[in-house]
Structure 1
Amino acid sequence: MPLHVILANPRGFCAGVTRAIDIVERAIDRFGAPVYVRHEIVHNRFVVDQLRDKGAVFVDELSDVPAGATTILSAHGVAKAVQKEAKERNLPVIDATCPLVTKVHIQGRRYAKAGRQIVLIGHAGHAEVIGTIGQIDAPVVLVSSADEVAALPFEPDTPIAYVTQTTLSVDDTRGIIAALHERFSDVAGPDVDDICYATQNRQTAVRKLAEVSDVLIVVGSRNSSNSNRLREIGAEMGIRSYLVDGGDDVDPAWVDGVDTVGITAGASAPDALVESVIAKLGRLRDLTVSQLEGVSENVEFSLPPILRRHDTAVRAAAE
Structure 2
Amino acid sequence: MIASSADKSGRARLAVRLAAPRGFCAGVERAIRAVEDALAAYGPPVYVRHEIVHNTHVVNRLKAMGAVFIEDLDAAPADRPVVLSAHGSPRAVHDAAAARNMHVIDATCPLVQKVHAETRRNAARGRHVLLVGHAGHPEVVGTMGQAPEGAVTLVETCADAEAVSPPAGPLAYVTQTTLSVDDAAEIVRILKRRFPAIEGPRRSDICYATSNRQAAAKRIAPGADLVVVIGSPASSNSRRLVDTALAAGAARAILLDAPETFDLDSLEDAQTIGLTAGASAPEVLVETFLARLAARFRLTIETVEAAAEDVVFKPAMMAAG
What's the TM-score, normalizing by structure 2? 0.91
Matched-pair contact (CA < 8 Å) for 1:14–1:268: yes
Match of 1:169 in 2: 180
Q: Counterparts of 1:166 and 1:189 in 2: how far apart (Å)?
A: 14
More off after superposition, 235-244 vs 95-104:
235-244
1:252 to 264, 276, 280: 264
Q: Counterparts of 2:32 and 2:133 in 1: how far apart (Å)?
A: 24
1:83 aligns with 2:90: no
Q: Counterparts of 1:276 and 1:292 in 2: how far apart (Å)?
A: 19
Query: Unaligned 5+ residue runs, structure 1?
Result: 308-319
Match of 1:234 in 2: 245
The within-5 A match list for 1:83-122 is 83-122=94-133
Report the alpha carbon displacement of residue 14 of structure 1 after superposing the two structures with TM.
Answer: 0.2
More off after superposition, 284-293 vs 23-32:
284-293
Query: Unaligned 5+ residue runs, structure 2?
Result: 6-12
1:13 aligns with 2:24: yes
Q: Which amino acid aligns with 1:53?
A: A
1:62 aligns with 2:100: no
Report the alpha carbon displacement of residue 83 of structure 1 after superposing the two structures with TM.
Answer: 0.8
> What SS is found at the alignment partner of 1:37?
strand
Higher RCO structure (Cα 8 Å, ≥6 apart): 2
Match of 2:9 in 1: none
Deviation digits for residues 78-102 of structure 1, max 9, x if unmatched? 0011111111111101000000000
> What SS is found at the alignment partner of 1:173?
helix
Matched-pair contact (CA < 8 Å) for 2:46–2:66: yes
The within-5 A match list for 1:1-319 is 1=5, 2-137=13-148, 139-154=151-166, 158-190=169-201, 193-211=204-222, 213-239=224-250, 240-306=252-318
Deviation digits for residues 52-71 of structure 1, max 9, x if unmatched? 11111111211110231111
Q: Counterparts of 1:178 and 1:218 in 2: how far apart (Å)?
A: 29
Match of 2:8 in 1: none
Call closer, same or farther: CA 1:182–1:197 in 2, change over 3 Å: same
Report the alpha carbon displacement of residue 214 of structure 1 after superposing the two structures with TM.
Answer: 2.3
Report the alpha carbon displacement of residue 236 of structure 1 after superposing the two structures with TM.
Answer: 1.8
Matched-pair contact (CA < 8 Å) for 1:158–1:186: no
Deviation digits for residues 100-156 of structure 1, max 9, x if unmatched? 00000001111112211100000000000000000123511001111101211237x
Deviation digits for residues 182-212 of structure 1, max 9, x if unmatched? 1113111125644201010000010011125
Identity over aligned residues, as a percent?
Answer: 48
Call closer, same or farther: CA 1:232–1:29 in 2, change over 3 Å: same
Q: Which amino acid aligns with 1:299?
A: V
Q: Counterparts of 1:71 and 1:19 in 2: how far apart (Å)?
A: 15
> What SS is found at the alignment partner of 2:190?
helix
Q: Which amino acid aligns with 1:128?
A: E
Structure 1 runs (4+) deviating above 6 angstroms are none
Q: Counterparts of 1:210 and 1:235 in 2: how far apart (Å)?
A: 7
Report the alpha carbon displacement of residue 161 of structure 1 after superposing the two structures with TM.
Answer: 0.5
Report the alpha carbon displacement of residue 3 of structure 1 after superposing the two structures with TM.
Answer: 0.8
> What SS is found at the alignment partner of 2:154?
strand
Matched-pair contact (CA < 8 Å) for 2:222–2:249: no
Q: Which amino acid aligns with 2:156?
A: S
Matched-pair contact (CA < 8 Å) for 2:176–2:205: no
Q: Counterparts of 1:146 and 1:135 in 2: how far apart (Å)?
A: 24
Structure whose residues are more often helix by fraction: 1
Matched-pair contact (CA < 8 Å) for 1:124–1:142: yes
Number of aligned positions between the proteins: 306
Report the alpha carbon displacement of residue 286 of structure 1 after superposing the two structures with TM.
Answer: 2.0
